[in-house]
Structure 1
Amino acid sequence: MRPRIAVVGGGLSGLTAAYQLSRDLPDARITVLEASERLGGALHTADFPSGPMELGAEAFIARRPEASDLVTELGLTGSLRHPGTLGPAILTGGRLVPMPAGTMMGLPSEVTALSGLLSTAELARAARETDLPLTWEPGGDVPLGSLVSQRFGPAVVARLVDPMLGGVYAAPSSGLGLRQVVPGLAQALDRGAPNLTAAARELVAQRRPGPVFATLDGGYRLLVDALARSSGALVRTRATCTALHRVGSRYSLAVTGDGGAWVEEADLVVVAVPVPRAAPLLTTAGGLDTADRALSGIRTASSAVVALEVDRALDLPDRSGVLVATDEDVPFKAITFTSRKWPHLDSRPGHLVRVSFGRLDDDDVLASDDAALTRMAESALADLCGSAPLVLHTRVRRWQDALAEIGPGHDTRIAEVRAELAARLPGVELVGGATEGVGVPACIGSARAAARRLAAKWQD
């Protein structure tokens, strides 16, 4: 019998799961249900008059194999591009300070490198980290920001760790689990590193040469289109799954869309939507007490990106972008000088710039309309560059509940969710940024692993 598979959500995770299932179960009939008018989720390549521009995720970590391997499989290697040599600056105290060398996700391997960011007293406090006794239980997990603050002082969190992580998680590091967010650091501590400085130094020494990040010339739409095409799935946009029910050994999905309401029948189901939408589908379908508690405890943040092309008369800082210290009183959290960062985009008529807004529990800025956000972005550029930009083109893209706060013990909670799903809703898998972590490689890895589990179950 040919399996029928329903994938709820046409973002990166859902499309990757559909692609992998088409490989493992080549006779499967796969349907992707996407509530919006477009595929891609947090990957969104828009068309500016001068060419494509990313309004969502911009790049992936090239040193992780998940994304690189998928790009190779899909025949997109020739489109890979890497950033130039410019590094970011940190906005603190009203000035731009180059990102210190020798840091690992904001953790210093040499405290002396932080002299431009910290006062004399703050620097002395950070330098005492190596003298503090460290209590660490191998295999354990703690809030990253709290540990760093205790050992280096709160200034290191506000001016290094939080700015580094803010663009990925949109959440303060005080709510992020060390093991999930910086797994290499946890592993170094498991191996017996005597302090955080030594652990960071070990990780910095292990860095491989070569570019850290990569993107695609032509935008992430190349990846989205290739996944949809290669999966052979029937893709239905403007199709919202409103309910999931188990009917014997199969599943019934209630769907509403432009054509009215209908029911999709499926043997296997992949749920690949943000937690606020996934949780009610799963918990009402199977009365999942553990999953309900675990998923409702995952907080999510919204964000917005203002993408601009501005006249080249504007004198941009000679940096790849700006990360904002959390003790800096400005409404934005980061600026990427996109055409400075990516050499293959630097031939456009104007400078490409992205201004990011939105942190967890800070919704006042996002309550502003698109015009107000655009004015804030233009004002931020004017303040940094010393003159107002002449804007050639602009787009605003908002992301609702798109970024999950990955707290301590997150992997244990997700393992419990999956165990309950296997027991109560066999043949249903949950994937996405709230499972194995946010970021393109993590989402790809989560989706492929879930698809392989479903294929193995069907073949048993």
Structure 2
Amino acid sequence: MTSWLVIGGGISGLAAALAVLEQDPGAAVTVLEGSDRAGGKLRGARVAGCEVDVGAEAVLARRPEAVNLVREVGLAESIVHPTRAAAQVWSRGVVHPLPRRTLMGVPADPAALGGLLTAEEVARALDERAETLAAEDASIGDLVSDRLGRAVTERLVEPLLGGVYAGHADLISARAALPALLRAAQAGERLQDAAARALPAPSDGTQSQGSAPVFATVSGGLHRLPQAAAERIRAAGGQVRTGTLTRELRHHTDGGFEVVTGPRPGPTAYRADRVVLATPAAATARLLREVAPDAAGRLASVETASTAVLTFALDTAELGELSGSGVLVPPVEGRTIKAATFSATKWDWVRELGHGAGPGGSDLTLLRASVGRHREETALQRADEDLLATALDDLGGILGRRLPEPVDAHVQRWGGALPQYAVGHVDLVADVRASVAQVPGLAVCGATYDGVGVPACIASARRAVAQLHPAQ
């Protein structure tokens, strides 16, 4: 019987454990999670008695990994998609519909940006010239600003990147985050032509009902996914141990590993034939310091962004109507919040959750705001009450009206939550994997490597297991 240890019980670690049990049902698999719960950034909390997501709330449905995992753990009947409420962006004091045919903010047709951008800014974007980029990598901000003008970066690309990476366009690698656009630039194509090719064809609206949904979640909250995954692991004979922080990783010359957990005065040691590290970059670097020092050094250089998700329960009658699924806020606007999600208009299940949930059976509207970007931790260094008040004030300014006092609110802080894919990140990941591959029986996975979304994390986990499984 082959023994496996998966260090880290976020969605990557849980997916890795399930992949092992799928390929080798007789394997002994143990997941070790340092916190008091499995699931990582997929977490739920009660707000005004309603259980909602306070971490990741949706997955990209056009990638199969996450939706397939939801089905595999028995939640297929709970898969739901957003309503038809449209995303919006707040710019220069006005809420605009987010242009539909953009690839992470890069327009397939710059002429469609009128209103959100000034006439001069649209003309600048339309004047994009096809030039060949010689560099192997570049920041998204440099690439887009040079081709389409700074306004496209500031008013479209930045708010979208802020939602995905909590990062800045001028620092995020195009090769890692938008490889199709980088390849187009290197081939001498216009970015707008590459975006048009990557996006669905324009529609007159008559076929919109049949188009594949971009996003999906689980009714009752995406946090149900890791709960179901952990249950499935246990049902298959594996173990998921929370409150078990891994301090050391040792590789024995005769094969196998020893993992040390617990307090130094009373440590607990685990032995395993194979180990998958599904931990954030800093924790992985610490564990690899003696085993794979080159990989440890590279991972230690990966910066992260800290964020917070603020959830509000507001009296529906006092709040009034909300349009759209939410609003993105470009950093150039100087607001504390970077986005707001109108959960009750975006998801039918959240709207229904608020029916009769307020005092005296009144209806509640649940929504949330996001705060925090890379290298802007000072925005989070304030008490919860101050953070909530500032976010509510920001949101009121964006909506053009004073918002009611919340019936309830919740602050979920995510310290160092999102790895930043700096220019050269793809080469960094290749170096890390090459170094780790020199240690037989060891692999790494997670948001640090091939994407921060749930589907990418699951794909990373399955790749790590495939590298180590004896059948491969």
TM range (shorter): over 0.9
| Residues 162 and 326 in structure 1, CA contact (< 8 A), matched pair in contact too | yes
Deviation at 1:78?
0.7
Within a 5 Å distance, the mapping from 1:206-245 to structure 2 comes to 209-232=211-234, 233-245=238-250
User: What corresponds to 1:55 in structure 2?
Assistant: 54
Deviation at 1:110?
1.1
SS in structure 1 of the partner of residue 457 of structure 2: helix
Give the counterpart letter for 2:83 in structure 1. Answer: G
Deviation at 1:50?
4.3
1:258–1:93 distance in 2 versus 1, CA, 3 Å: farther
2-structure distance, mates of 1:230, 1:39: 13
Matched, 1:266 2:272: yes
Per-residue CA shift, 1:14-59, capped at 9, x if unaligned?
1110111111122222221111111100100223344321100110
| Residues 146 and 174 in structure 1, CA contact (< 8 A), matched pair in contact too | yes
Give the counterpart letter for 1:185 in structure 2. Answer: L
2-structure distance, mates of 1:155, 1:58: 29
Per-residue CA shift, 1:132-187, capped at 9, x if unaligned?
2411359x432111100111111111110010111110111222222321234345
Within a 5 Å distance, the mapping from 1:439-450 to structure 2 comes to 439-450=453-464
SS in structure 2 of the partner of residue 346 of structure 1: helix
SS in structure 1 of the partner of residue 414 of structure 2: strand
Give the counterpart letter for 2:319 in structure 1. Answer: L
Q: Which moved more, 1:429-438 or 1:390-399?
A: 390-399
1:260–1:96 distance in 2 versus 1, CA, 3 Å: farther
Matched, 1:304 2:300: no
Alignment counterpart, residue 418 of structure 2, candidates 403, 413, 416: 403
Deviation at 1:73?
2.0
Per-residue CA shift, 1:257-278, capped at 9, x if unaligned?
6995211111111111111111
Give the counterpart letter for 1:305 in structure 2. Answer: V
2-structure distance, mates of 1:427, 1:105: 38
SS in structure 2 of the partner of residue 86 of structure 1: coil
1:341–1:259 distance in 2 versus 1, CA, 3 Å: farther
User: What corresponds to 1:18 in structure 2?
Assistant: 17
Within a 5 Å distance, the mapping from 1:191-202 to structure 2 comes to 192=187, 194-202=189-197
Give the counterpart letter for 1:329 in structure 2. Answer: G
Give the counterpart letter for 1:160 in structure 2. Answer: L
User: What corresponds to 2:36 in structure 1?
Assistant: 37
Q: Which moved more, 1:429-438 or 1:401-410?
A: 401-410
2-structure distance, mates of 1:352, 1:448: 35
5+ unaligned residues in a row in structure 1: which ranges? none
User: What corresponds to 1:279 in structure 2?
Assistant: 285
Q: Which moved more, 1:26-35 or 1:58-67?
A: 26-35
2-structure distance, mates of 1:406, 1:316: 38
Deviation at 1:373?
1.2
Alignment counterpart, residue 343 of structure 1, candidates 326, 345, 348: 348
SS in structure 1 of the partner of residue 111 of structure 2: helix
Within a 5 Å distance, the mapping from 1:351-362 to structure 2 comes to 351-362=365-376
Per-residue CA shift, 1:64-123, capped at 9, x if unaligned?
111122222223211011011111221122221221232111001111111112223222
Deviation at 1:354?
0.9
Deviation at 1:453?
1.6
Deviation at 1:282?
0.9
Alignment counterpart, residue 134 of structure 1, candidates 131, 136, 150: 131
1:395–1:246 distance in 2 versus 1, CA, 3 Å: same
User: What corresponds to 1:173 in structure 2?
Assistant: 169
Give the counterpart letter for 2:463 in structure 1. Answer: A
SS in structure 2 of the partner of residue 265 of structure 1: strand
Matched, 1:367 2:381: yes
1:231–1:257 distance in 2 versus 1, CA, 3 Å: farther
Identity %: 37
SS in structure 2 of the partner of residue 319 of structure 1: coil
Matched, 1:317 2:312: no
User: What corresponds to 2:440 in structure 1?
Assistant: 426
SS in structure 2 of the partner of residue 355 of structure 1: strand
Alignment counterpart, residue 326 of structure 1, candidates 324, 328, 331: 331
1:144–1:217 distance in 2 versus 1, CA, 3 Å: same
Give the counterpart letter for 1:275 in structure 2. Answer: A
User: What corresponds to 1:88 in structure 2?
Assistant: 87
SS in structure 2 of the partner of residue 170 of structure 1: coil
1-structure distance, mates of 2:390, 2:321: 17
2-structure distance, mates of 1:157, 1:400: 26
Within a 5 Å distance, the mapping from 1:66-145 to structure 2 comes to 66-129=65-128, 132-136=129-133, 140-145=136-141
2-structure distance, mates of 1:12, 1:259: 31
Per-residue CA shift, 1:179-202, capped at 9, x if unaligned?
321234345557x57211111111
Q: Which moved more, 1:45-54 or 1:349-358?
A: 45-54
* Superposition TM-score, scaled by structure 2 size: 0.90
| Residues 184 and 190 in structure 2, CA contact (< 8 A), matched pair in contact too | no
1:224–1:259 distance in 2 versus 1, CA, 3 Å: farther
5+ unaligned residues in a row in structure 2: which ranges? 203-209, 355-362
Per-residue CA shift, 1:197-241, capped at 9, x if unaligned?
111111224599221000000212321122112223222211111
SS in structure 2 of the partner of residue 273 of structure 1: coil
| Residues 130 and 188 in structure 2, CA contact (< 8 A), matched pair in contact too | no
1:301–1:94 distance in 2 versus 1, CA, 3 Å: same
**Number of residues paired by the alignment?**
450
